[in-house]
Structure 1
């Protein structure tokens, strides 16, 4: 696969904006037919966007969090499913930056620059809680490992070249094993049937004694032994997707009202777009969207600032800023996507129009992790100065 090499932040945003316009056109049809976006993901790989966080010394643009968040916001405004697929890709690029050896970094960064995609095999179903990981890496006599377990909600795995698998080694510490998509013993099942984000193919990964060389395993547990931005960056991208879904829903609502809605007879106006009550409601919704975008930018800048001077204090500031952005964006995405019907009227509920895809995508994506716990950590930090925990979900 020949991939473009993006050289700076401005180019990354411009490429993302162009791709978002391209992807927007078929988003509703892909959702309706549950047509998986293989062609679109190949376009994403070829565009060079998947390598924009590769460090400069390895030939990448090494863009900041603010740029990466804007890339995801733009993609999310076009297609809430498609934007979700590379989220874990960038989270695991960050693992390589943080914990990879020089040789591992050299190999995987070259893979990224060539357009290769990382998937995700992280979550497990039926365990005590989300961090109760039972997939095992069993050491072999030659220093390699055998990987066994079952993973669920494995977004991106079906389309991946490499699947990062979160597993416990013999010492029970968490590691990430990077496994080729075609590895012996690895099966990806397209059994995702969520009401929203229908085309993420977030299905099940079966790992049946998958052989893993020692140099494909990274000690992820070390990420959390000091100040870290792993969780902040991953959550920032989730917030950006939510902010993007809200932008897309508001734009589609405005287009529908301008072109298809009738004015309420009591309004005394000729078009729905002149209705003062609708104008008021659109203003309120726009304020929510703008607040989400502003908090997203502020959070991204906090992550960039912490990356430049990483301490317990700067990492805490970044995590809290991201938590605030995530809460606001999640609430806004659900609210605006629901209000689309309120402002558009009865016709907008026709299933054939598929306007509900925005709400379904928002409602599904915002279930990823509970905002109530983010609010708790914000409150503890503001009231008592309690720094947020280092568990990768904040």
Structure 2
């Protein structure tokens, strides 16, 4: 197994992420065009130590702040949004263990993460009444162990995982997470994802056919929502960071294209496209949108950090609303800026061989994860009436 570096602090984490993002950017369009899954790149990401950043300090991790983690995801997504999305669930399920794992579970799994083991996810299901209608079952056996049965879709990270956290319900219908080895008997991971965007996330199907699960690999996730919690805020913060990264990456591509490849419109009277006052105006507007999304992402991450230091119903609510605000802004910026890339760059930018359309396809696909319109509703209720957002893990 490849040796995994230990990252000491937030500053080192950001430096490592920036270096990797620069490397990943070089072949991102080619990976997307060929749908070449980023196994090599993900192994490099793992070996860098970045996937262990949120392991608590008492277990040997760097335990970086949410501000740092959000910026790392933004950097990676600006380079390759598919690659950035793969470890999103990894950090979510490290967070589940921090919150609800027993001391022995935390000791075991955090040691696994520090050694370079990756978590995937198997939570969403297709064909149910809604996203919270989880029908995968954990049936308790006489010896205290469980048998896991179900089918999961959109299982980002599962194909590349060492452990697959599975969201399931027990006989009393309470929600649990079962941490299952990727190669356990009865586990099948299908690479059948065919989305128009996020092509290389391998967000396929996980089939669980009477999978044996020891009792000490099951975590009572329903208890997470019994009191103030940041589970949803952390998960959504990383999604917001991915959208913000897509927006900033698309803007950077547009700037480079207009500076080096675009011809001026003949009526402008200028020698270069970059001198066109109408293009200058549009780039100013797009820059404001991207910088606004980046600022709101940073503010949301700081709110999550503040709540983590002093977790109450009020601080958790403030963090959730701040993250929801950032997510709405980031989703709008990602879709608009990735689309405007073609508006400002002209006809040549639409050539399939250039791969610039991946930014829009990634933005349009990733922003469908959960609807912004409901986030706006919760923001409005909080601002107008002081109503705290619900504890369901998607805020």
Shorter-chain TM-score: which interval?
Answer: over 0.9
* Alignment-derived partner of residue 75 in structure 2: 74
Question: For structure 2, which runs of at least 5 residues remain unmatched after alignment?
Answer: none
* Alignment-derived partner of residue 150 in structure 1: 151
Find the aligned partners of 1:347 and 1:114 in 2 and give their Cα distance.
46
Question: For structure 1, which runs of at least 5 residues remain unmatched after alignment?
Answer: none
2:208 matches 1:207: yes
Deviation, 1:140, is 1.0
Deviation, 1:364, is 0.2
* Alignment-derived partner of residue 102 in structure 2: 101
**Cα offsets for 1:236-259 (capped at 9, x unmatched):** 000000000001000000100011
Find the aligned partners of 2:28 and 2:263 in 1 and give their Cα distance.
26
RMSD: 0.4
* Alignment-derived partner of residue 365 in structure 2: 364
Find the aligned partners of 2:16 and 2:34 in 1 and give their Cα distance.
27
**Cα offsets for 1:254-305 (capped at 9, x unmatched):** 1000111000001111000111110110010000000000000000000000
Deviation, 1:207, is 0.1
**Cα offsets for 1:297-353 (capped at 9, x unmatched):** 000000000000000000000000000000000000000000000000011111111
Deviation, 1:142, is 1.2
Deviation, 1:203, is 0.2
2:367 matches 1:378: no
* Alignment-derived partner of residue 304 in structure 1: 305
* Alignment-derived partner of residue 58 in structure 2: 57
Find the aligned partners of 1:386 and 1:250 in 2 and give their Cα distance.
36
Find the aligned partners of 2:7 and 2:288 in 1 and give their Cα distance.
33
* Alignment-derived partner of residue 26 in structure 2: 25
TM-score under structure 1 normalisation?
1.00
Q: Which runs of 4+ in 1 moved over 2 A?
A: none
Counterpart secondary structure, 2:130: coil
Find the aligned partners of 1:70 and 1:191 in 2 and give their Cα distance.
30
Deviation, 1:367, is 0.1
2:181 matches 1:193: no
* Alignment-derived partner of residue 112 in structure 1: 113
Aligned positions of 1:8-19 closer than 5 A: 8-19=9-20
* Alignment-derived partner of residue 313 in structure 1: 314
Deviation, 1:206, is 0.3
TM-score under structure 2 normalisation?
0.99
Deviation, 1:354, is 1.2
Find the aligned partners of 2:228 and 2:20 in 1 and give their Cα distance.
35
Counterpart secondary structure, 2:27: helix
**Cα offsets for 1:75-108 (capped at 9, x unmatched):** 0000010000000110000000000000000000
Counterpart secondary structure, 1:387: coil
* Alignment-derived partner of residue 178 in structure 2: 177
Counterpart secondary structure, 1:6: coil
Counterpart secondary structure, 1:165: strand
* Alignment-derived partner of residue 326 in structure 1: 327
Find the aligned partners of 2:67 and 2:190 in 1 and give their Cα distance.
34
Find the aligned partners of 1:209 and 1:335 in 2 and give their Cα distance.
45
**Cα offsets for 1:164-190 (capped at 9, x unmatched):** 000001111000000000000000000
Counterpart secondary structure, 1:184: coil
Find the aligned partners of 1:233 and 1:98 in 2 and give their Cα distance.
12
Find the aligned partners of 2:95 and 2:22 in 1 and give their Cα distance.
28
Kindly tell me the number of residue pairs found equivalent between the two proteins: 394
Find the aligned partners of 1:283 and 1:161 in 2 and give their Cα distance.
45
